[in-house]
Amino acid sequence: MSAKILIVAEHDGAKLNPSTAKCVTCARALTGAEITLVVCAADSAAVAAQAAQLAGVARVLTVDNPANLHPLAAVLAPQIVALAAPYTHLLGPSTTFGKDLMARIAGLIDAPQVSDIMAIESETRFRRPIYAGNAILTVERTGAGKTVGTVRTASFEAAAGGGSAVIEKAVVDVPLPTHTRFVSVSAAKSDRPDLQTATRVISGGRALGSADGFKILYSLADKIGAAVGASRAAVDAGYAPNEMQVGQTGKIIAPELYMAVGISGAIQHLTGIKDARTIVAINKDGEAPIFEVADIGLVGDLFQIIPEIERLV
């Protein structure tokens, strides 16, 4: 028997989130797996068309319902469960969307969940980080039944385009709860690249001193086309909004270039950047732990160094 995998697509109603393409790559590690994507939306057409282009996807199921306008786990979960019967694995991204939703699905179908899958070794064997990435655990699914998983997106490249999956409208006739209601979402509008998918990221720490201090990072970031992140300390101090937080409890990212500016390098922060290809550390304290993981280190005053880099590039 080969695996039949259902991946829950993450999207904002118009665009497919790149985390979905990474789930597809994860699923494709199982040779012969049949991969289906499910798009739950108020109007799925645009997102389904993008999903159908992902290489390796056989089928895209669409579930259109006005209740799906905002992704509420309590509303989405019973719809996914209604479609789950034929599948051996149910996967979603290990983003706040997927982590919120997949565990609710796991509860509804009484199946174990493997969180933060960083490698699929077989239909039953998975590798995942624990203790904030300080240990890697291999787990084996025992017994019969489905396996639910969230995919650590930093561990996988996005699946390529060029596919042509069949798009099918799925009929889901289950009662949906009304006990959970969307009120609002606030996010700073930014023209910079998305932190989770950017190839270059510049992050600032507490040493930036203020929200104003971050301006030198934004300026350099705009010049080199980078996204801007922040350490937990900088977010807690109010220098940057929470969606910019990189680390164990923020975003886990894997850019080509990560520049840690005025960040000491707490283990929780390092967890978020382990998969960065090249890490640059700029800090006035040469003993800061960030230098132990940095590929290139520069000790000095960031308020001089950053503007100078901007002049030089």
Partner 1 sequence: MKRILVGIKRVVDYNVRIRVKPDGSGVITDGVKMSINPFDEIALEEALRIKERGAADEVIVATVGPADTQQQLRSALAMGADRALHVQADGVIEPLVAARALLKLVEREQPMLVIVGKQAIDDDNGQTGQVLAALWNRPQATYASKLELSEGKARVTREVDAGLETLEVDLPAVITTDLRLNEPRYVKLPDIMKAKKKPLETLTLAALAVEARQQLKLVRFEPPPQRQKGIRVKDAAELVEALKKKGLL
Q: Residue 62: name the closest of 79, 74, 48, 52 by CA.
A: 48
Cβ nearer to partner 1, comparing 59 with 99: 99
Q: Is 137 in the site for partner 1 (CB under 8 A)?
A: yes
The smaller minimum CB distance to partner 1, of residues 138 and 210, is found at: 138
User: Footprint of partner 1 on residues 2-31 (CB under 8 A)?
Assistant: 12
Residue 239 is encoded by which pair of tokens? 């220098």
User: For residues 115 and 150, what is the distance between their CA atoms, to the nearest angstrom?
Assistant: 5
How many residues of this chain interact with partner 1, rule: CB under 8 A? Answer: 83
Residues 258-277 that bind partner 1 (CB under 8 A): 274
Stretch that binds partner 1, among 40-48, 155-163, 164-172, 175-183 (CB under 8 A): 175-183
Asked if residue 87 lies in contact with residue 3, where contact means CB atoms within 8 angstroms, the answer is no
Specify the residue, 165 or 281, whose C-beta has the smaller distance to partner 1.
281
Determine which residue in the list 129, 204, 205, 272 makes contact with partner 1, applying CB under 8 A.
129
Interface with partner 1, residue 183, by CB under 8 A: yes
Query: Measured between alpha carbons, how far is residue 122 from residues 31, 84, 140, 168 in Å?
Result: 9, 20, 9, 29
User: Cα 97–154–7 angle (5° rounding)?
Assistant: 45
The values of phi and psi at residue 35, to 5°, are -110, 125
Query: Closer to partner 1 at the Cβ: 54 or 235?
Result: 235
How many alpha carbons lie under 13 Å from residue 108 in its C-beta half-sphere? 19
Q: Which of residues 276-305 bind partner 1 (CB under 8 A)?
A: 278-280, 282, 291, 293-300, 304-305
174 touches partner 1 (CB under 8 A): no
Helix (H, G, I), strand (E, B) or coil at 153: helix
The residue among 164 and 199 lying less far from partner 1, judged by its C-beta, is 199
Is 96 or 164 the residue whose CB approaches partner 1 more closely? 96
When asked if residue 256 is in the footprint of partner 1 (CB under 8 A), the reply is: yes
Residue 167 beta carbon to partner 1: minimum distance, rounded to whole angstroms: 26
Q: 224 vs 198, 211, 229, 272, 311, CA distance in Å?
A: 11, 21, 15, 22, 11
Among 6, 47, 61, 105, binds partner 1 (CB under 8 A): 105
